[in-house]
Structure 1
Amino acid sequence: MNIKFGLKIAGKTGLPMLAEGSSNADFEVSIKCKFPNQKSNR
């Protein structure tokens, strides 16, 4: 089973018309799972 999702973070700071700063960050998270085969003892 594979699960994948993304996150986007953005921020802005400063005083309008004087000095502004902004930053963006993108993250992608991927999870891979393997489940063991379960055999019944019958």
Structure 2
Amino acid sequence: SEIKIINKSGNGPITILVKNSRIALGWDLGCAIMVQENL
């Protein structure tokens, strides 16, 4: 499985991409996070 960590900005949301699944985490609750399934 491949795990990719993308940091949008210093205090921005961190998107963790896992094979066949994606988990989105962010400190800024006011920021909209879109999660898409990319198979």
* Structure with a larger share of its residues in strand: 1
Shorter-normalised TM range: 0.3 to 0.5
Higher relative contact order (CA 8 A, sep 6+): 1
Q: Which has the larger radius of gyration?
A: 1
